[in-house]
Structure 1
Amino acid sequence: MRRTLVLRNIPLLCFSVTILLIISSCSGTRKAFNPNKKFPAQQLQEDYQLFQTILEQKHPSLYWYSTQHQMDSAFNAGGLLLKDSMTEYEFRRVLALVVSNIQCGHTSVRASRSYQKYFDTLSIKRSFPLHIKTWSDSIVLTAPVKNTPLVRGDIIDAINGVSTKQVLDTLLRFIPADGNNMVAKSQLLSGTSYFASLYTGVFGWPKTFHIAYKDSLNREQSTVIQPVVVPKDSTSKGRKKPAAKDKKSKTNKLKEQRHLWLSAREGYAVMELNTFSGSPGLKRFFRNSFRMLADSGINNLVIDLRLNGGGRITNSTSLTRYLANQPFKTGDSIYAKKPSFKYGRFIKNNFIETVFTLVSTRKKNDQYHFNHFEKRYYNPNRRNHYNGHIYILTGGYTYSASVLVVNALRQQPNVTIVGEPSGGAAYGNTAMVIPDVTLPHTKVRFRLPLFRLVIDKELPKNGKGVKPDVYVSATPESIRKGVDTKMAKVLELIR
Structure 2
Amino acid sequence: MPPYLRGLLLGLALSALPAASPAVETSYPPTTTALTSSQAREDLELAIAALEAALPNIYWHQTPTEWRQAKTIARAHIAQIDDSEGLWRVLMPLVARIGEGHLSLAVSDAMKKRERDTGLLLPLSVLWNEQGAYVIAGYGEAADLPRGTRIVSIQGKPVQTLADDLMFAATRDGAIRTGILREASGNGYGVLLYRMIGSQSVFRLVLETADGKRIIRDVAGIPAAARTASTSPALSPIATLEWLDAGTAYLNVPTFSNKRYREAGANYEATIQKIFDELAQRNARNLILDLRDNGGGSEPNESILFSYLVEAPLRKYAAVEARGRHISVRDLSGTTFETEVFDDGEMKLQHRLPNGRLLRRNIPPEGLMTRWGRSSPVYRGRLVVLAGGNTFSGGAELASMLFHVRRAVFVGEEAGGTHEGNTSGYRWPVTLPNSGMTLRIPLLQFRFAWPGLPKDRGVRPDCAAPPNVWENGNTKDAAWRLARDMLRTEWATPDQATCPAEIISLSR
Smaller-chain TM-score bracket:
0.7 to 0.9
| Alpha-carbon spacing, 1:202–1:60, altered in 2? closer, same or farther (3 Å) | same
- 1:316 and 1:493 map into 2 onto residues whose CA distance is 25
Say which is worse superposed, 202-211 or 445-454, in terms of deviation: 202-211
Say which is worse superposed, 375-384 or 97-106, in terms of deviation: 375-384
Contact 1:178 1:425 in 2 (8 A): yes
Counterpart AA for 2:377: N
1:362 to 342, 351, 356: 351
1:153-164 equivalence runs, <5 A: 153-164=148-159
- 1:380 and 1:490 map into 2 onto residues whose CA distance is 31
Contact 1:391 1:490 in 2 (8 A): yes
- In structure 2, runs of 5+ residues without a counterpart are 1-10, 20-27, 227-232, 262-266, 489-508
Structure 1 residues 62-105: Cα deviation after superposition (integer angstroms, max 9, x where no partner): 11111111111111211111114521222122110111221111
| Alpha-carbon spacing, 1:209–1:104, altered in 2? closer, same or farther (3 Å) | same
Distance apart, 1:124 and its partner CA: 9.4
- 1:119 and 1:359 map into 2 onto residues whose CA distance is 47
| Alpha-carbon spacing, 1:481–1:157, altered in 2? closer, same or farther (3 Å) | farther
| Alpha-carbon spacing, 1:371–1:297, altered in 2? closer, same or farther (3 Å) | same
* Aligned partner of residue 311 in structure 1, secondary structure: coil
1:377-456 equivalence runs, <5 A: 377-378=370-371, 381-412=374-405, 415-456=408-449
Contact 1:260 1:269 in 2 (8 A): no
Distance apart, 1:479 and its partner CA: 7.1
- Matched residue, 2:125: 131
Distance apart, 1:392 and its partner CA: 0.8
Say which is worse superposed, 132-141 or 470-479, in terms of deviation: 470-479
Say which is worse superposed, 138-147 or 483-492, in terms of deviation: 138-147
Distance apart, 1:482 and its partner CA: 11
- 2:100 and 2:383 map into 1 onto residues whose CA distance is 30
Distance apart, 1:171 and its partner CA: 3.0
- 2:345 and 2:377 map into 1 onto residues whose CA distance is 35
Say which is worse superposed, 331-340 or 425-434, in terms of deviation: 331-340
1:60 to 39, 42, 56: 56
1:184 equivalenced with 2:173 (yes/no): no
Structure 1 residues 259-301: Cα deviation after superposition (integer angstroms, max 9, x where no partner): 4242253632222222222222422321232233233333222
- In structure 1, runs of 5+ residues without a counterpart are 1-16, 26-31, 233-251
Contact 1:137 1:168 in 2 (8 A): no
1:46 equivalenced with 2:42 (yes/no): yes
| Alpha-carbon spacing, 1:461–1:446, altered in 2? closer, same or farther (3 Å) | farther
- 2:301 and 2:137 map into 1 onto residues whose CA distance is 34
- Matched residue, 1:272: 252
| Alpha-carbon spacing, 1:53–1:357, altered in 2? closer, same or farther (3 Å) | farther
| Alpha-carbon spacing, 1:161–1:62, altered in 2? closer, same or farther (3 Å) | same
Structure 1 residues 235-281: Cα deviation after superposition (integer angstroms, max 9, x where no partner): xxxxxxxxxxxxxxxxx74x432342422536322222222222224
Contact 2:35 2:435 in 1 (8 A): yes
- So what's the TM-score if we normalise by structure 2? 0.77
Distance apart, 1:365 and its partner CA: 5.1
1:63-82 equivalence runs, <5 A: 63-82=59-78
- Matched residue, 2:4: none
* C-alpha RMSD over aligned residues: 3.6
1:83 equivalenced with 2:79 (yes/no): yes
Counterpart AA for 1:38: A
Distance apart, 1:368 and its partner CA: 1.0
Distance apart, 1:46 and its partner CA: 1.9
| Alpha-carbon spacing, 1:265–1:169, altered in 2? closer, same or farther (3 Å) | closer
1:467 equivalenced with 2:480 (yes/no): no
1:49-448 equivalence runs, <5 A: 49-113=45-109, 115-116=111-112, 118=113, 128-135=122-129, 138-143=132-137, 148-189=143-184, 191-227=185-221, 253=234, 255-265=235-245, 267-278=247-258, 279-280=260-261, 281-343=267-329, 350-351=339-340, 353=342, 358-364=347-353, 366=355, 367-372=357-362, 373-378=366-371, 381-412=374-405, 415-448=408-441
* Aligned partner of residue 252 in structure 2, secondary structure: strand
- So what's the TM-score if we normalise by structure 1? 0.79
Distance apart, 1:200 and its partner CA: 1.2
| Alpha-carbon spacing, 1:486–1:442, altered in 2? closer, same or farther (3 Å) | same
| Alpha-carbon spacing, 1:379–1:481, altered in 2? closer, same or farther (3 Å) | closer
* Aligned partner of residue 181 in structure 1, secondary structure: coil
| Alpha-carbon spacing, 1:456–1:145, altered in 2? closer, same or farther (3 Å) | farther
- 2:373 and 2:147 map into 1 onto residues whose CA distance is 44
Say which is worse superposed, 221-230 or 484-493, in terms of deviation: 221-230
- 1:227 and 1:296 map into 2 onto residues whose CA distance is 56
Structure 1 residues 115-151: Cα deviation after superposition (integer angstroms, max 9, x where no partner): 45x479x689866432222245721123466874422
Structure 1 residues 177-213: Cα deviation after superposition (integer angstroms, max 9, x where no partner): 2222223333332x22431111012223323434321
| Alpha-carbon spacing, 1:69–1:386, altered in 2? closer, same or farther (3 Å) | same
Structure 1 residues 380-435: Cα deviation after superposition (integer angstroms, max 9, x where no partner): 74433322222111111111111221122225465222222211000111111112
Percent identity over the alignment is 20
Counterpart AA for 2:436: K
Distance apart, 1:449 and its partner CA: 1.1
Contact 1:303 1:390 in 2 (8 A): yes
Distance apart, 1:111 and its partner CA: 1.5
- 1:459 and 1:300 map into 2 onto residues whose CA distance is 29
* Aligned partner of residue 152 in structure 1, secondary structure: coil
Contact 1:133 1:141 in 2 (8 A): yes
- 1:185 and 1:425 map into 2 onto residues whose CA distance is 14
- 1:206 and 1:113 map into 2 onto residues whose CA distance is 21
Counterpart AA for 1:442: S
- Matched residue, 1:11: none
Contact 1:96 1:174 in 2 (8 A): yes
